[in-house]
Amino acid sequence: MRKQIAAIVILIALILSLVALFFLRTDSGVRMTNKAVRSVHWGQKKKVPSQFSARLREIAASFGAKPQDIKIRPKWKLAPERWTIRIPVNQSLLKCNLAVTDEIKIYGGRVADAVERVSKEGTQYLEMKLAFGAKVTQVVVFDRSKEVAPVQRASLAIVIDDLGYGDESLMKEFLALDYPLSFSVLPGYPKSKSAAEAVVKTGKDLLLHLPMEPHGYPGINPGKDPILVDLSASEIKSRIAKDLSGLPRVSGISNHMGSLATQDPEVMKAVLEDTKTRGIFFLDSMTTPGSVAKKVAAELGAVCLRNDLFLDTASKDEKKVKKMLERAEEIALSKGRAIAIGHLYSGTFKVLKSKLPELEKKGIKLVPISAFADESAPVI
């Protein structure tokens, strides 16, 4: 009886196998097979990180595209999202290609295809197909307008300090500006982590604004667990590690206050050894002309940048902020580059919103602070 049942099962299996083989050779079988293959590919598709889209806008802006020059057609069914970016006629399509290629790798994507074509009007344009996973998620077209980009003569980086402690609604307005501003976050406050995450989400540079001992301490308090001149090197590094542990990946560290600590060679040696080990830079806010940060950094081979001026420390008045921004522009044009620091003040926001669009016409490119931190560049 058991042998008969086994024989029947084998016979049924054989018949089903023959039917399946025949079915798969038919058109409907091929369609089913292709559908299954497509479903596997779709399963490998990844969502485009919002940070990459934000960086794509910044790349477009760096090549002279204004907000109105960036058109996005949303993804529809099987079609990828399509970006059309118009850049000045004297900008390099090759450089656009390289900038996007370098950036997408950071976010785990790739360039599936990149081709320069000629339009019906006879102008060249670049079409790039970008992929996250197996599928093309974005088609980005760099087209040329009839405008001519002004010759860039200088670079300017602007860092906005005190996020996590300052006005949260004003912070969101600063972050919404379509320019590569950089931001520093004070550690240890209830909103420090969320502020840092908001910066990272926009794709802008994030710094740890490290509390350091000022003259007049403890009457003047720089914040929680500051770097004090009587701490050991191991304790200084431990406090830095603690502050960084509550934040996403940072590009660098800047000093909050620290007029006394930045004058102490041993303190700065410990801080700069730590930044060098981590592969990040130190931005000396220059709260004192007696800072030894640059000298110690040169001895250690660490990367140290220096603030050229504060936009709004002396006054929050818009007229004075405007004058300080103009002074920063003058420094940039004379030195080739400059760094300015501002704060979460409404006057500073209004001035930047109205004046940043004018920088390009003056031959000044606004850049993230990390653009100055290439270790192959000299310490400034």
Domain containing 107 — which CATH number?
3.30.460
Q: Are residues 346 and 248 in the same domain?
A: yes
In a domain, 3, yes or no: no
Work out the burial of residue 5: count CB atoms within 10 Å of its CB; fewer than 13 is exposed, 13-18 middle, 19 or more buried.
exposed
Token pair 């290609």 is found at: 97
pLDDT of residue 26: 46
pLDDT tens-digit series, residues 153-201: 899 999 999 999 888 999 999 999 999 999 999 999 999 999 999 999 9
Tokens for 201, please give them.
């989400």
Q: Are residues 180 and 215 in the same domain?
A: yes
Q: CA-to-CA distance for 35 and 28, rounded, in angstroms?
A: 10
Q: Are residues 235 and 90 in the same domain?
A: no
Domain boundary among 86, 116, 144: 144
Examine the pLDDT at 313 and tell me if it is beyond 70. yes
pLDDT tens-digit series, residues 118-136: 988 888 999 999 999 888 9
Domain boundary among 144, 173, 190: 144
Q: Are residues 262 and 167 in the same domain?
A: yes
Containing H/E element for 210? strand 206-212
Q: CA-to-CA distance for 353 and 348, rounded, in angstroms?
A: 9
Domain boundary among 110, 144, 178: 144
What's the chain's length in residues?
A: 380
Q: Are residues 331 and 221 in the same domain?
A: yes
Q: How many domains does the chain have?
A: 2
Q: Are residues 178 and 317 in the same domain?
A: yes
In a domain, 62, yes or no: yes
pLDDT of residue 208: 98
Q: Are residues 224 and 248 in the same domain?
A: yes
Strand partners, 125: 117
Q: Are residues 127 and 195 in the same domain?
A: no
User: Which CATH number goes with the domain that contains 228?
Assistant: 3.20.20.370
**Mean local confidence (pLDDT), 222-243:** 97
| Domain hosting residue 234, numbered range | 154-372
Q: Are residues 278 and 169 in the same domain?
A: yes
